[in-house]
A and B are shown apart, each in its own frame.
Chain A
Amino acid sequence: MSANLTLVALVGVLFAAGVYLLLERSLTRVLIGVILIGNGVNTLFLVASGRAGRAPIVGLNEVDEMSDPLPQALVLTAIVITLGVTAFLLAMAYRAGQLHEHDDVQDDVEDAVIRRRAERDEASSTYDDSAGGTMDEEGADEPAGVGSGGSASPGAGPGRQVGPEGESR
């Protein structure tokens, strides 16, 4: 079938601008990127759904002249879902702005900690290869020292701040 070049070009531009924005750090820009890509996808549906025609309403128009109704139903749900996603991302942007005074997506701190561990050739924070300690069906470990040959267990002492990766802060 013949392709509509104008719409094809629009698909390309909307996706290019959308991806460019999506790779940004500001959540608002990411969101605008999502909206542009959404419009691009809907245009893609238009391109793929054949030539333009008359509204697919029986009785109003001849069946032969109608545009394809099935892609339209798909696009209709897509439009409304985009609204839901937009609202959700906006709420996230607002929440980020409330917490950090800006809405930039930060790098995950936990991942940076893991990367440092990898560079230092360390095992993970939850890994414990200490041996010893007493096995017994009753009683508990003594609070200090017993059975902790390796890394300190989280929350070992009061007043000592232990990070999520088991590092002292």
Chain B
Amino acid sequence: MMLALIAAHFVAAAAAPVLVAWLHRRAFLVLALVPAVAFGWAVAMTSRVAGHGASAIEEQVAWVRTLGLELSFRLTTLSWVMMLLVTGVGALVLAYCAYYFRPGDGDLWRFSGLLTGFAGAMLGLVLADDLIVLYIFWELTTVLSYLLIGHNPERKANRRAAMQALMVTTFGGLAMLIGIVIVGQRAGTYQISAVLADPPAGDAITAAVVLLLVGAISKSALVPFHFWLPGAMAAPTPVSAYLHAAAMVKAGVYLVALFAPAFAGLMPWRPLLLVLGVVTMLLGGLRALRQHDLKLLLAYGTVSQLGFLVVLVGAGTRAAALAGVAMLVAHALFKASLFLIVGIVDRAAGTRDLRELSGLGRRMPVLLWASVLAAASMAAVPPLAGFVAKETVYAAFVDIAETGDGTGIGSAAGWTLVAGLSAGSALTVAYSARFVWGAFAVKPDVPPIGECRMPVAGFAAAPVALALACLALGLVGPAETELLEPYAEQFPPGTHEAELSLWHGVNTPLLLSVLAVALGLAVHWRRDLVARVQERLAPRADAESGYRAIMRAVDRLAVEVTGTTQRGSLPIYLAVIFVVVVAVPGSTLLAGQVWDGDVHAWDTPAQAVVVAVMVAGAVAAARSRRRLKAVVLAGVTGYGMAMLFILHGAPDLALTQVLVETVTLVIFVLVLRRLPPYFSDRPLTSLRWWRLGLGGLVGLVMAGLALAASGARVAEPVSEGFAEPAVSYGGGHNIVNVTLVDIRAWDTMGEISVLVVAATGVASLIFLITGRTGRWRADEAIANAPPARAAVGRRVHRNVWLRAGRTLAPERRSIMFEVVTRLVFHVIVVFSIYLLFAGHNAPGGGFAGGLVAGLALMVRYLAGGRHELNEAAPVDAGLVLGIGLFIATGSGLVPLALGGDVLQSAVVDITMPLLGHIHFVTSLFFDVGVYIVVVGLMLDVLRSLGGGIDRQSVDDEDVESLEPAEGVR
């Protein structure tokens, strides 16, 4: 059920844009139903997970089995409280959005989805019972918060605030991830309940817990990470109410509360959290008193309260834990209510600046009273929820100060803590008063708000409901105590039994409460004086400027590192790689005895002759200054390779090598037409000797590697056993071909995919300008071609050797070539198909066949030009490539459907009437796919590097012939 509820949020989030398009603002009311249902479920579960005799509800779904990762969720008393807050406030805020936004507001489709998705992520976070799952939801809330803060990216300040929140909370999140991994590895499980039941210990765990706390205090905006939260006020007010008051910032508090029973006794836990918490509480309170924007006032108030909450749940005593959770609930209720009220004030009066607001209380009495209730709860005035919680807080900390209450905190430190909390509470009272006064009071020196749009009932419903909840919760303290007890009972029993109640009698806590309220009201009374003192004492440097300094340092470091390592020169990068090749494998070769010294000069003397020619070719190719010469010399080494293959006993390789070499030569020539005949002159510098030296060294290393490789050939080759299965299972006698299409078909699959990519790359480079689409029919071009000169005055001969031949200029035509082409084209194509079919038993196969078919097309192109190519193959090359890949993939997948493995082959023997006995192997279909892919590649290359370049040349000539004409004009 828990997983279903979380998933429902994400489904709703995905559907939100559609809903918004259909229902506009009212879509929020529909979306609010999802968290409302979750809230209802949580309420229904009350008796099972809270109160006396509670137990946890668990749910587990296997997720990534190999990592042992489970989607495990667990509803305990603590997560039940959080779930009620997240879903309850979530539903109210979503409903509030329906009135908050104006009909014309843009980007609601995005906003609605993000906010609903956030509710789901937050729910997942509080329910997760697996540390990794918790972390994933944790970061999900971070990202969604970033997107929601940046709701209006038009303003630079908003973008900066969003980025700042993202950086700070992600930093904390990553620290937390390290902590999670350490805890998980030490505990041997990532399940939170298991870790809590049997907490691991040791120095590593201490470090891990500190890292977890870094995550918690960054998320909950404690000093020194507090500055991101006021920045988050760039978000729309409902977001501030939900994410940055009620839900997301509580994630850190939740984490502390979750792990406090297990880890509160560890050394850095209490000093870290209690000191940072109190400092945050005081700093936030002081800052809140300086704000004029009501929203910022509340934001700093939230910072202050978060510090307070972390002190409570981090103290690790039973009373403090009970008080902490009660305060957590109270804070969510009053702070969300106050934020929503600010939203209404902003919409009604058009400003949130308390220096401009005056007399609003008279116009909106309901809102005034709602905010009085909420602010009084914040200020801990009886009989509200805040008061009940704070009484227990004082009781808990007076216990700590008097007896230590099992925490080991000394008396002096304890009383300092109590004093800090009391001072913080006084500040809370002061800014609570400042809020109500600022928003609603009549200020003598400010003109009253004139034009004012009264909120409709639905708009005010959410904050009023939350404010009333503050009141209701204050009255049911004992019942709340009983519900929360299962959480508090995880801690050892304290000096006194804590109870949430309106009246404990006259004691120290009550005195402290009275003192705090009196002091707070006094501060508000003398607010001008306080403001002047703060003005004078305000520090010049703050945490935010520290953050900016760090970010700048990181940026500078990045520039320096990039500037040093990224030289932007291809030769330098390659040289670095080759130096590594020489240094690492080279030194290994020298160091290790990898070669046994057994050599023979050659297998056959013919090898020596071929190699001598190839060496000469390679050296001459490297020295050549002329493009064509270099290409032809490189071709010499290529044909030499074919000879070596034959001498080695590899006819398939020799065949393929000859075909590839021929194709390579032709396409080189096609491209070199359009490049300068000589390589550009470069000064002969010492660099050349460096290159030569590096080349020589790499050559030596590779030669050494070759020696080592043949020395390493001591085991029985894998392929020793290929011969027999090749025939019996693969159904072919040519072992190389069977290897390609059957034994190692996955390699071939990858290879033809590479070919498709390469062909697409070629086409996109050439057709960048001219566009690839077009009709691949030559009819029009042939019809438009000027009639041959010889034909003038004579009867046009219908039977020509190549139809598109006449599209070529007469001086470029060769009748002999056309005749020969006409005669051999079909023969070559038939031969290519023969190679394809014969390849399984004799040299040949899909690659060779495809290359031969490609050569046939090439001959047509060379004889008759690009239109003749279209005449020969009136299809798009991409289509051919696609069909080939489709057939190859399909033939690989079909066995899967028949219960076999991918790319499995079978020998089929059928006797059909008329045709007689048919014997074939299903891997033939795979080879057909290969064949078609290679043909597609060839067609693509010819059309791009041949026809495409032709067309661009013609266009260039047209431009050149036009230019003088324009010059005359």
Contact = CB atoms under 8 A, between A and B. Distances in A.
A interacts with B: yes
Contact of A21 (B158, B556, B622, B717): B622
A127 B234 CA distance: 21
The A contact surface, by secondary structure, is: helix
Contacts of B578: 19, 23
B532 interface: no
Interface in B166-200: none
A75 to B, nearest CB: 6
Contacts of B552: 123, 127, 129
A58 interface: yes
A95 B664 CA distance: 18
Interface residues of A, number: 120
Nearest to A10: B611
Interface residues of B, number: 143
B761 A88 contact: yes
Contacts of A25: 570-571, 682
B836 to A, nearest CB: 14
Contact of A19 (B555, B563, B671, B699): B699
B685 to A, nearest CB: 12
B777 interface: no
A101 B676 CA distance: 8
B762 A13 contact: no
A15 B618 CA distance: 9
A55 B650 contact: yes
Interface string B674-689: 1110011010000000
B615 interface: yes
B734 to A, nearest CB: 5
B699 A88 contact: no
A118 B560 contact: yes
A137 B607 contact: no
Contacts, number: 411
Nearest to B846: A80
Contact of B747 (A42, A74, A91, A132): A74
Given A59-B733, A80-B847, A23 B706 contact: no
Contacts of A75: 650, 653
A123 B555 CA distance: 6
Interface stretch (B41-49, B354-362, B424-432, B626-634): B626-634
Contacts of B650: 55-56, 67, 72, 75
Interface in A92-140: 92-95, 97-98, 101-105, 107-112, 114-115, 117-119, 121-124, 127-140
Contact of A135 (B155, B556, B694, B726): B155
A76 B656 contact: yes
Interface string A19-40: 1111111101110100110011
Interface stretch (B401-409, B707-715, B813-821): B707-715
Contacts of B595: 3
A9 B614 CA distance: 11
A93 B614 contact: no
B782 to A, nearest CB: 27
Contacts of B734: 56-58
Interface string B134-146: 0000000000000
A77 to B, nearest CB: 4
Given A19-B695, A124-B555, A135 B231 contact: yes
Interface of A: 1-26, 28-30, 32, 35-36, 39-40, 42-44, 46-60, 63, 66-70, 72-77, 79-88, 90-95, 97-98, 101-105, 107-112, 114-115, 117-119, 121-124, 127-141, 147-148, 153
Given A48-B712, A53-B648, A118-B562, 20 more contacts: A1-B714, A7-B607, A15-B703, A16-B699, A17-B618, A21-B621, A25-B571, A43-B644, A46-B645, A70-B718, A76-B656, A77-B747, A87-B937, A88-B765, A90-B667, A92-B765, A94-B945, A94-B949, A112-B568, A123-B555
